[in-house]
Amino acid sequence: MHSFPEPALALVETMTAAAARDPARAIAFQGAPGANSHRAALDYAPDCLPLPCFSFEDALDAVKGGAAGAAIIPIENSQHGRVADIHFLLPESGLHIVGEYFLPISYALLGLGDGPFAAAYSHPQALGQTRNYLRSRGIVPMAYADTAGAAAFVKEQGDPAACAIAPRIAAELYGLTIVDEAIEDAHDNTTRFVVLARKPLDPASLAGKVAMTTFIFEVKNVPAALYKALGGFATNGVNMTKLESYQQGSSFAATTFYADIIGAPGDPAIDRALEELAFHCKALRILGSYPQARERG
């Protein structure tokens, strides 16, 4: 908690105390109060008690340790791709995906005054989503742990040449001036969040609903292994909406894949496809099945 800038600490302490009184209602998020993840938690569950955590690891640990009933974590952005490290952290956490939420993203430029500004602080995702705006104005991007925390940092530093890229609510929380709004490079900018809990949803509870299933797998190191592993989804008519690869370890010999499909175990077509996938894999792990929040395609 004490890694947050001083202007954010009082809010963090108040929210942490409220969550401690009713952990089951608490939803942990990464960032200072006012971050997009804070907004996502309240939109997803309006009656929740948002619990700010400095890092993604802290948010996941809050759920594992019982300080929160769930965590809401950004996993990908429509403009800037997947959020760094999340594909490693999710499997390692031992938690399960029980929901998803799509949040429209809009950023404001916040400062102590109206500028001009030499540097802009924000989360690397936000900096990437406003890259053209910053380049056109000669403002140097400076990475910070989260968007709202960057706003609190600018307030704490007191440098009129520094600004923050953050949701407009951060200006109210930390006493900054809104210099410009809607500065994201794409105005259909959207971030997908996943909701994580200690226990998975029973796939039977998803009967009659459109569901998503997320899993990771590692194919055997033989020719055409990926082609063979994925063939079962085609032959069984299962729609795979996402497939990404990433390396684990330093050998560069084994690639892990992250995938989303429409449907859940218990559906015969899904079960057959996953069984065929497992046959061609060294490892397969389902991270969760959950209700679909937005139609794919």
209-226 tens-digit pLDDT:
999 999 999 988 888 889
Residues 81 and 15 in one domain: yes
Report residue 226: phi and psi, to 5°: -65, -40
The model's pTM is: 0.91
Residues 241 and 267 in one domain: yes
- pLDDT single digits (tens) 183-210: 999 888 899 999 999 999 998 899 889 9
Residues 23 and 92 in one domain: yes
254 burial class (0-12, 13-18, 19+ CB within 10 angstroms)?
middle
Mean pLDDT calculated for residue range 252-271: 90
Residues 159 and 244 in one domain: no
Residues 11 and 99 in one domain: yes
Residues spanned by the domain of 115: 108-181
Determine, yes or no, domain membership for 90: yes
State the catalytic residues.
Answer: 191, 193
Determine, yes or no, domain membership for 275: yes
Determine, yes or no, domain membership for 77: yes
Residues 84 and 113 in one domain: no
Residue 200: CA atoms inside 13 Å, Cβ hemisphere, count? 18
Residues 65 and 89 in one domain: yes
Is residue 1's pLDDT more than 60?
no
Q: Which amino acid type is present at position 41? A: A
Residues 83 and 116 in one domain: no
Lowest mean pLDDT among 71-80, 114-123, 136-145, 227-236: 71-80
**Total structural domains in the chain?**
3
Residues 81 and 128 in one domain: no
Domain finish residue from 170, 197, 224: 197
Determine, yes or no, domain membership for 91: yes
Residue 66 belongs to domain with CATH number: 3.40.190.10
Determine, yes or no, domain membership for 206: no
SS3 238: coil
Contact 26, 77 (CB under 8 A): no
